[in-house]
Amino acid sequence: MSRTVLFVCPHGAGKSRIAAAWFAQAAPPGWTATTAGLTPQPQVSLHAPRLLAGGGAEHLLDRQVPRPLSAIPDPALTVAIDCPPGAVPGALEWRLRHADFDEHMAAELRDRARSLARELAP
């Protein structure tokens, strides 16, 4: 049985997509990742593929239209990335030190997603 980590960011188009791709690359057996947004954008951010390029996780980027939280039923774990405090009840809240869409933010998301994958490993 597969368990899902739902990564949520304000628009479901950039930060959550990057984190989900990194998590998917390192996911322990039985775990998958998906994304959603509080107010979904109409398309995936141009930053997501750019910041994943060359890191080995770019092929794991979800390129589907961003979804609202209600589209993802019952994830095993939810991670809210730079969302207003309490906006996603019960979520693990990540506040990024690097808010700009640059290599520092991508590295922070990579490190946090990999750390989460290690924590969830049996």
Q: Which tens digit of pLDDT belongs to each residue from 7-31? A: 999 999 999 999 999 999 999 999 9
This prediction's pTM: 0.96
**Cβ-contact 108, 36 below 8 angstroms:** no
* Beta strand ranges found along 10-102 (DSSP E): 31-37, 77-81, 92-94
Provide φ and ψ at 97, rounded to 5°: -75, -30
Domain range annotation of the chain: 21-26+45-122
What is the predicted pLDDT for the residue at 1?
75
- Name the token pair of 43: 């398309």
Kindly report the number of other CB atoms within 10 A of residue 35's CB atom: 30
Greatest CA separation for the chain: 37
Question: In sequence order, what are the residues at sequence separation of 6 or more whose Cβ sits closer than 8 angstroms to the Cβ of residue 20?
Answer: 5, 7, 33, 34, 35, 60, 62, 113
Mean of all residue pLDDT scores within the chain: 96
Percentage of the chain modeled with pLDDT above 70: 100
pLDDT-based confidence at residue 122 (cuts at 50, 70, 90):
confident
pLDDT-based confidence at residue 99 (cuts at 50, 70, 90):
confident
